[in-house]
Chain A
Amino acid sequence: MTLDRTLMPDFQAVKQINIPQLEIRTLSNGIPLYIINAGEQPVLKIELSFDAGAWYDTQNGISMFTAKMLCEGTSKRTSQEISEYFDQFGAFSENGHGLDRANLTVYSLSKHLHKVLPMVQEILNDATFPENEVENFKNIQLQTLRVNQEKSAFVAGQVLRKNIFGVNHPYGNYLTEEAIAEISRQHILDFYQQNWQGKTFRIFLSGKVSAQDIELVETFLGKEKFTKQSHNQSLTNSFFSEKSILIEKTKAMQSSIRLGKVMMRRTDPDYFKMLLLNEVFGGYFGSRLMKNIREEKGLTYGISSNVAPFAQAGYFIVGTDVKKANTQQTLDEIHKEITILQTKLVPADELQTVKNYMAGSFAGSLGTPFDIADRYKVVVGEKLSLDFYEQYIPKILEVTDIDILEAANKYLQIDSLTEVVVGGK
């Protein structure tokens, strides 16, 4: 019997997956410890997550400077000695900073956890932000910013967020040369004392976690008293929007195009409808934007859309880089694809593909304990229901073609989108 290679083999759609359960403990001092125990490699990630992201900025850039400079010195050790300390055990420290939260994270082989934790404790309690390190870091930030300002994609993303959230909104604000110049050691110390030092946090411990590891965490982080931060979030949400912004770059070979608007958070009843709509539109390699603008017309190396939800608000963004001369054509095609989504139901076959793809890639995105812990971090940080990701695939499968058409009309009105072009038209 000859093999008929035109026939696709039988397949099964992913309907449900088992995600390792989150183990929730409380240390003696009340600090919550969230544990994902999975994987075979003897490694651990310990993340101390604080409500100290951009949302809590008291001046532009201060939360980022504080988070990123935590490991730059304690009263006992210099910046170099701290790096040297982690490096000798092959551990990596990473100071994360996002719109909502900031964190101190260390990746380590399990066998070195007992060496790594005392240093984590020291940094947490006793970061000193030495004057020379502040100056050096300001200088590095300034120069990095100048490099980034030359990247049209970087500029386009910033300008879009500024215009959809407003410059006074922490999600719309971005680092400028003036803001960097303004930051002083005292400002950083103040922010550190208000938001980090002696303040409560959440611990996410993931990897191959043993009872002994949990004991170690209790020993080094479970004894001291921590108090809650008192935040006065006074910045107003001045949503405003200039609808169309063109930043001319005569020498640029391409235009960076970004379209976007403020969008819902994960708790919104329409969230999954929006996710499906986004996926069909520009969320994956087989999306309509990719098919039309890359695979049929060859106008770009890539085009995508994305729903980016955060704790306080979210946004929607479409982005691509194209030859300058093709800028208007690309914009027209993006609009055309939106109109189709608003007027024609997504065909059953396409919808099935999108759902299967989303379910499969979600299952595939949970490959390591660190990936799983990151998902739960969102659940805990945004106070979602603990089964949010258990329910993720069933919720995707529930969305109908009519839901998508309605969402396209409700959320993607073309005149509600802000357009940014860096390059030329």
Chain B
Amino acid sequence: MISYDHFVLDNGLKVYVHKDTSTPIAAVNICYNVGSRDETEDKTGFAHLFEHLMFGGSRNIPSYDTPLQKVGGENNAFTSPDITNYYITLPAVNLETAFWLESDRMMALSFDPQVLEVQQKVVIEEFKQRYLNQPYGDVWLKLRPLAYKNHPYRWATIGKEIAHIEDAKLDDVRDFFYKHYLPNNATMVVAGNVSTEQVKQLCKKWFEPIPAGKLTTRNLPQEVRQTEARFLETEAKVPLNALYKTWHTPARHAQDFNAVDLLSDVFGRSKSSRLYTKLVKEKPLFNTINAYVTASLDPGLFVVQGNLNQGVSLEEGEAAVNEVLADLLSNPIQEEELTKVKNQAESTLVFSEMELLNRAMNLAFAANAGNVEYANQESDKIQAVTTDAVAKQATTILRPENCSTMYYRSVN
């Protein structure tokens, strides 16, 4: 259980305070409700590029990082298809520095053309380093547009192509900022050795003067039900053939999500999972194999991915995966197998709450998704899943016509 106090500022900024006096540290997490799903098709990669610009100085503070380092703080950020999340950990005695820095960049950036120019180059090198100059690095650049036809999840957060990042203009930056970086589009969590009263005072001083902005209602094109199996074959200079299969699933906080999540655990979470046991151990066709769900806020994907052993064809590998999946009908999930994956999920949850910053993030993500209590309901939701519910999800989701398959062929 993560305890918290809650209040909302006049400008709409949602604030949560999680007190933990056992640490000399405080964590400040600000989650902006904007991700790469909010981009337009011809300007992809922008939410992530923008995250880089948030470190390029704000209206009154030329450097974001240096003052924070000076007070012994650390920070980072990440962008996903759903959110852009910024976080700081620092000695709790210096909490006000975090408020000073975060409020100034929520108010206005420096909009310095030099910063844009340098960060475009940095992001392009990131694009190459992580997605292009890396074996299997471009998998999701190819898989997303196969699995999604309408929803903006069809492009990767880094962007569809380098040209989109090169083309970004300062006007785009300004528009994006005033559209999305608003107090009423953000959730702040302050955690650690702090008091609610202190956080309230600091919020009043630093964040309350920031005017609310006009929020645009998100109206994203949704996927239509997939009715035909999809297939893509691609090749690259990699040592092993790789197989990817995806199926559409419910969204992260939809009713059936936890059953689907546990279903993916049954198939491919650990070394005792069905896919690993059958296809790595019993009949070594695969070098690695996993199953997981993407857990996105709009409907996501159930993914099976594996690298095949040398000499095993993609066709043979896929047939074997399909066989293990189909075997669920004749070999349904028993109570013991379900208890195992529940215990694994419960244990992961408890371990994740050891870190102060993780607790702050769990609260922020839940509140951003619409209900802070999601963070504390997870354990009960996992325990409530029945073998019948998992079986039902298996039939609903793992249908051939709901599936996209990619062969990633190894060539020399």
Question: Does A215 touch B at the CB level, under 8 Å?
Answer: no
Q: Tell me the residues in window 66-124 of chain B with beta carbons closer than 8 Å to chain A beta carbons.
A: 66-67, 69-74, 89-91, 93-94, 96-97, 99-100, 103-104, 107, 117-123
Closest to A91 in B: B347
- Are A356 and B351 in contact, CB atoms less than 8 angstroms apart? no
- Are B340 and A87 in contact, CB atoms less than 8 angstroms apart? yes
- Are B122 and A87 in contact, CB atoms less than 8 angstroms apart? no
What 1/0 mask marks residues of chain B from 150 to 194 whose CB sits below 8 Å from any chain A CB? Answer: 000000000000000000000000000000000000000000000
Complex-state Cα separation, A14 to B74, whole angstroms: 14
Closest to B202 in A: A9
Complex-state Cα separation, A42 to B346, whole angstroms: 12
Question: Does A370 touch B at the CB level, under 8 Å?
Answer: yes
What 1/0 mask marks residues of chain A from 275 to 317 whose CB sits below 8 Å from any chain B CB? Answer: 0000000001110000000111111110000000000000000
B72 to chain A, nearest CB (A): 2
- Are A144 and B287 in contact, CB atoms less than 8 angstroms apart? yes
Complex-state Cα separation, A10 to B99, whole angstroms: 12
Question: Does B240 touch A at the CB level, under 8 Å?
Answer: yes
B185 to chain A, nearest CB (A): 21
Cβ of A360: which chain B residues have Cβ within 8 Å of it? 71-74, 90-91, 94
Question: Does A229 touch B at the CB level, under 8 Å?
Answer: no
Main secondary structure of the interface of A (DSSP, over half): mixed
Complex-state Cα separation, A140 to B308, whole angstroms: 10
- Are B125 and A254 in contact, CB atoms less than 8 angstroms apart? yes
A235 to chain B, nearest CB (A): 30
The contact of A356 among B24, B69, B206, B270, by CB within 8 Å, is B69
- Are A254 and B133 in contact, CB atoms less than 8 angstroms apart? yes
What 1/0 mask marks residues of chain A from 79 to 93 whose CB sits below 8 Å from any chain B CB? Answer: 110011001111110
Question: Does B25 touch A at the CB level, under 8 Å?
Answer: yes
Complex-state Cα separation, A286 to B290, whole angstroms: 38
- Are A83 and B309 in contact, CB atoms less than 8 angstroms apart? no
- Are A253 and B133 in contact, CB atoms less than 8 angstroms apart? yes
Closest to A294 in B: B122
Cβ of B22: which chain A residues have Cβ within 8 Å of it? 38-40
A155 to chain B, nearest CB (A): 12
Stretch among B4-12, B247-255, B320-328, B353-361 lining the A interface? B353-361
- Are A286 and B69 in contact, CB atoms less than 8 angstroms apart? yes
- Are B309 and A322 in contact, CB atoms less than 8 angstroms apart? no
B247 to chain A, nearest CB (A): 24
- Are A285 and B65 in contact, CB atoms less than 8 angstroms apart? yes
Q: Tell me the residues in window 224-246 of chain B with beta carbons closer than 8 Å to chain A beta carbons.
A: 237-240
- Are A143 and B240 in contact, CB atoms less than 8 angstroms apart? yes
Q: A12-B93, A143-B310 are in contact. Are A300 and B71 (CB under 8 A)?
A: no
Complex-state Cα separation, A368 to B228, whole angstroms: 49
Cβ of A80: which chain B residues have Cβ within 8 Å of it? 271-272, 277, 281
The contact of B72 among A152, A295, A359, by CB within 8 Å, is A359
Question: Does B332 touch A at the CB level, under 8 Å?
Answer: no
Cβ of B128: which chain A residues have Cβ within 8 Å of it? 253-254, 321, 323
What 1/0 mask marks residues of chain A from 345 to 372 whose CB sits below 8 Å from any chain B CB? Answer: 0000000111011011101100111100
Complex-state Cα separation, A150 to B97, whole angstroms: 44
Q: Tell me the residues in window 336-379 of chain B with beta carbons closer than 8 Å to chain A beta carbons.
A: 336, 339-340, 343-348, 350-351, 353-357
Cβ of A76: which chain B residues have Cβ within 8 Å of it? none
- Are B97 and A8 in contact, CB atoms less than 8 angstroms apart? yes
Closest to A9 in B: B96
Question: Does A251 touch B at the CB level, under 8 Å?
Answer: yes
Q: A11-B94, A252-B133 are in contact. Are A322 and B125 (CB under 8 A)?
A: yes
Q: A5-B61, A8-B97, A300-B125 are in contact. Are A79 and B284 (CB under 8 A)?
A: no
Question: Does A25 touch B at the CB level, under 8 Å?
Answer: no
The contact of B125 among A83, A301, A353, A363, by CB within 8 Å, is A301
Question: Does A17 touch B at the CB level, under 8 Å?
Answer: yes
Closest to B134 in A: A151
The contact of A41 among B69, B288, B344, B350, by CB within 8 Å, is B350
Cβ of A10: which chain B residues have Cβ within 8 Å of it? 96
Complex-state Cα separation, A149 to B61, whole angstroms: 44
Q: A147-B135, A151-B135 are in contact. Are A361 and B74 (CB under 8 A)?
A: yes
- Are A90 and B346 in contact, CB atoms less than 8 angstroms apart? yes
- Are B125 and A139 in contact, CB atoms less than 8 angstroms apart? no
Q: A11-B94, A298-B125, A363-B72 are in contact. Are A87 and B133 (CB under 8 A)?
A: no
Closest to A88 in B: B340
Question: Does A6 touch B at the CB level, under 8 Å?
Answer: yes
Question: Does B389 touch A at the CB level, under 8 Å?
Answer: no
- Are B70 and A352 in contact, CB atoms less than 8 angstroms apart? yes
The contact of A5 among B60, B133, B345, B350, by CB within 8 Å, is B60
Q: Tell me the residues in window 401-421 of chain A with beta carbons closer than 8 Å to chain B beta carbons.
A: none
A127 to chain B, nearest CB (A): 16
The contact of A363 among B91, B96, B121, B206, by CB within 8 Å, is B91
Cβ of A87: which chain B residues have Cβ within 8 Å of it? 270-272, 340, 343-344
Q: Tell me the residues in window 276-298 of chain B with beta carbons closer than 8 Å to chain A beta carbons.
A: 277, 280-281, 284, 287-288
What 1/0 mask marks residues of chain B from 292 to 330 whose CB sits below 8 Å from any chain A CB? Answer: 000000000000000101100000000000000000000
Question: Does B23 touch A at the CB level, under 8 Å?
Answer: yes
Closest to B353 in A: A41
The contact of B237 among A13, A150, A297, A368, by CB within 8 Å, is A150
The contact of B281 among A5, A12, A79, A300, by CB within 8 Å, is A79
The contact of A14 among B59, B91, B271, B350, by CB within 8 Å, is B91
Instruction: Please report A residues at the B interface, Cβ cutoff 8 Å.
Output: 3, 5-6, 8-14, 17, 38-43, 79-80, 83-84, 87-92, 107-109, 136, 139-140, 143-144, 146-147, 149-152, 251-254, 284-286, 294-301, 321-323, 352-354, 356-357, 359-361, 363-364, 367-370
Closest 4 CB pairs of A and B: A360-B72, A298-B121, A90-B347, A90-B343
Instruction: Please report B residues at the A interface, Cβ cutoff 8 Å.
Output: 22-25, 59-61, 65-67, 69-74, 89-91, 93-94, 96-97, 99-100, 103-104, 107, 117-123, 125-126, 128-130, 132-136, 205-206, 209, 237-240, 270-272, 277, 280-281, 284, 287-288, 307, 309-310, 336, 339-340, 343-348, 350-351, 353-357
Q: Knowing that A12-B93, A43-B350 touch, tell me 11 more A-B residue pairs with CB under 8 angstroms.
A: A6-B61, A11-B96, A14-B24, A43-B354, A80-B277, A136-B281, A143-B239, A143-B310, A147-B135, A360-B71, A364-B72
Between A and B, 19 residue pairs with Cβ closer than 8 Å are: A3-B205, A6-B60, A10-B96, A14-B24, A14-B91, A87-B272, A88-B339, A90-B348, A107-B351, A136-B281, A143-B310, A300-B122, A301-B122, A353-B69, A357-B69, A357-B73, A357-B74, A360-B90, A363-B24
